A and B are shown apart, each in its own frame.
Chain A
Amino acid sequence: MHRRRVAFVLIAAALLPAAAAGQTVSHRGFLEVRGVGYPQTTASDSTRLVGEALVRHEVTAKPAPWLRLEGHADLRGDTHGQTDWGGPALSDRSTKRPALSIRRLDAMLAKGPVSLDLGKQFVRWGKTDILNPTDRFAPRDYLAVVDSEILAVTGGRLTVGLQSNALDLVAARFTPSRMPLVENRWSGITGGPAGTAFADGGAAHPARAQLGARWNHVGSGFECSLSAFRGNTHLPVFAAGTPALPGGTAFPPAGPPPAGALVGPAPIRVARAFPEMWMLGADAAVPLSPATIKGEAAFFGSGDARAGEYWLYVIQLERQRGEWVFVGGYAGEAVTRPRAGGAFAPDRGLAKAFLGRASYTIDAARSAAFEGAVRQTGDGAWLRFEYSQASGRHLRLTIRATIIGGAAGDFLGRYARNSHVTVGVRYSY
């Protein structure tokens, strides 16, 4: 831990003089204020209006042609108890969003076809949209499940190669996805004994490194990748004695309360674990005249029964027509060994579903989009309409209406009472 902090201090120290010198330093960021209105309450949450504010500042410095330094910081708050008001955070392991966090802090050294990126950084794999089975170094903040945001990972990334062939090697410290707060409406708890309260039971974060390799090839008229990963799932399973939550069995569990769980005035503690797993995957894109075909598939294996073993795959078509862009596809799942126990698994929760997005550029300042996912069984659906309009060079207004419906036993259906409208204003600088 001490060495890691020293490394971050060194990167930050390198950023400052470059900034002071005013050489190849750029700043960007935004202030965003959002209001979210929920027409319905849930069993665990009676809040109907939520306010959120976020200030994000990003600094990029290039003190030398072979060196790029990048630092991003977030300052945020909300009215719904989703913010951790403790000190500055670097690790992204808290259950709540830190009020002040270092979102990214890394140094990239590049020479010819080789680049080495060290620090807290974003690593994105895969080619499809909405769901990326091979994107293993991209944990997310799922506090509001359908409005997730990527989290950075801390580690090293070595990339060798140029356009035609590139090899990507990644070693990172484990960063978990941030699941919904158990007392929040996005916990997905749809029932339970009256007066039952829930509390976070902590998490056992794995210490071992998360390792991955990806080879990408850009050919004549196609593009493909092979990827491998060994580490832990960043989506939590629930430890023994914890009632199941979305993606697992329905709450409350059938039969007597789990051993160790206290029902009544004392809260039920929900503890998280992150079983080891490995993945082999591939993705491809083929641009054709009627449409571009993109696909992605991965097999997830594990020696831990809590993780299960399964395939996830996505196939999608993408086409531009005038000012419209259409993306449509299917996300599938094939389970070869069911997991034991409950888990929070939005990736699998979006599988066995038809996915689509249609966006329309009205003019240089305005756009509209419609997107959604419908489970093939019809048990769950998520639909969203978004209108966005810029005003001047700095302001943008975005209005979103999200409708979620379905059966309580379905991953999406669990959030049926979380349909909402979001109005956001962003000032970019």
Chain B
Amino acid sequence: MTRCIRVLSVTLPLALGLVQPRTAAAQSAREVMEESQKRGQAASQHYEGLLQVVDARGKISDKRWIFDRLGSHGRSRAVLTFMEPPEVRGVALLVVNHPDRASDQWMWTPAIQRERRIALQDRSTRFFGTDFSFEDLEERDTEQYDFRAIADETIDGAACWKIEAKPRAGKSSQYTLSYVWVRKDNYAFQLVENYAKGALARRLRYSRIENVQGIWAGRVLEMTDVRRNSRTVLTLDKLQYNLPMKEERFTLQALRRQ
């Protein structure tokens, strides 16, 4: 759960840029990814999320939440508070990320007035029944992957570098490899395809890529679970970076005070 929050917060739409397009040869795949990560860095992040799950029969269910994050890239704390549907309003998730180990997560459930530490051994678990897994929502630190430039391609009208990312030895992942399309004009992610055991498992498409306070970010993220034939659309509203936030808001005590 925690990890997913990270994704939702930081990593998703990374990158910014006013950089002259360069070729993959001129800039290595790792340099592209590190530049993308660097440009997406912010001291804090806030947004209101709308999550729409479209199942194989076309049925749509909505969830809304407010997301706040303090810090970035493995040294962050985040609180995600559900606002809709009404039955989960007030349910909150506290995520404390660590650079060297799995994050700690607690869930506050108003109905039982209790915070509960969440066990998260399996990062392939779907986030609240959506098509995002917890791993999909993680911040992906470039140090955890090996990269290889594959080709230059155009996706949705944007010139991109296609880069292969493989988890390094010792870094567990449900995916054996991923292909990432990084826009040449601003280093934002345009598309990610995740493969498991040689087969495409999930596809994440970014759209409405906008510059928010100097950070290029996709405002709409569509995750398709190829195996389940379902998709989830996450829209980031009221996205803001570098807002002043107090550390005391990101504690177990603060969950109860909400």
Contact = CB atoms under 8 A, between A and B. Distances in A.
Contacts of B256: 159
A428 B117 contact: no
Interface in A223-265: 223
Contacts of A429: 86
B121 A394 contact: no
Interface in B207-258: 230, 247-248, 250-253, 256-257
Given A163-B252, A320-B125, A294 B117 contact: yes
Given A124-B112, A289-B121, A365 B61 contact: yes
A22 interface: no
Interface string A273-294: 0000000000001010111101
A410 to B, nearest CB: 27
Contacts of B110: 58
B256 to A, nearest CB: 8
A127 interface: yes
Interface string A110-131: 1011010000001010010100
Contact of B84 (A58, A162, A393): A393
Contacts of B119: 287, 291-292, 318-320, 325
B71 interface: no
Contact of B86 (A150, A163, A285, A394): A394
A124 B53 contact: no
B55 interface: yes
Interface stretch (B19-27, B96-104, B175-183): B96-104
A361 interface: yes
A290 B102 CA distance: 13
A173 interface: no
Contacts of A290: 121
Contacts of B84: 393
Nearest to B56: A363
Contacts of B90: 28
What does DSSP make chain B's interface, helix, strand, loop or mixed? mixed
A361 B86 contact: no
Interface residues of B, number: 40
Nearest to B230: A363
A361 B124 CA distance: 13
B85 A285 contact: no
A285 B117 contact: yes
A3 interface: no
A407 interface: no
B248 A166 contact: no
Contacts of B257: 68, 108, 110, 115
Contact of B61 (A108, A367, A390): A390
Contacts of A289: 102, 121
B11 interface: no
A323 B252 contact: no
B122 interface: yes
A87 interface: no
Interface residues of A, number: 52
A361 B122 CA distance: 14
A104 B245 CA distance: 30
A175 B257 CA distance: 23
A130 B168 CA distance: 40
Nearest to B59: A365
Interface string A314-349: 000011111101000000000000000000000000
A228 B22 CA distance: 65
A201 B43 CA distance: 63
Contacts of A127: 116-117
A189 B124 CA distance: 49
B241 to A, nearest CB: 22
Contact of B62 (A26, A108, A325, A393): A393
Interface in B52-72: 53, 55, 61-63
Interface string B168-198: 0000000000000000000000000000000
Contact of B87 (A112, A166, A396): A396
A185 interface: no
Contact of A364 (B61, B89, B252): B61
Closest 6 CB pairs of A and B: A122-B113, A364-B129, A292-B119, A428-B86, A428-B87, A163-B251
19 contacts: A30-B86, A58-B110, A113-B253, A122-B113, A129-B116, A162-B251, A218-B104, A291-B119, A320-B119, A321-B121, A322-B125, A325-B119, A363-B230, A364-B55, A365-B61, A393-B85, A394-B85, A426-B87, A428-B85
Given A124-B112, A292-B121, 19 more contacts: A110-B257, A113-B253, A159-B253, A159-B256, A221-B101, A291-B119, A318-B119, A319-B119, A321-B125, A322-B124, A363-B230, A365-B129, A366-B129, A390-B87, A393-B62, A393-B85, A426-B87, A428-B85, A428-B86
Interface of A: 26, 28, 30, 58, 68, 108, 110, 112-113, 115, 122, 124, 127, 129, 150, 159, 161-163, 166, 216, 218, 221, 223, 285, 287, 289-292, 294, 318-323, 325, 361-367, 390, 393-394, 396, 426, 428-429
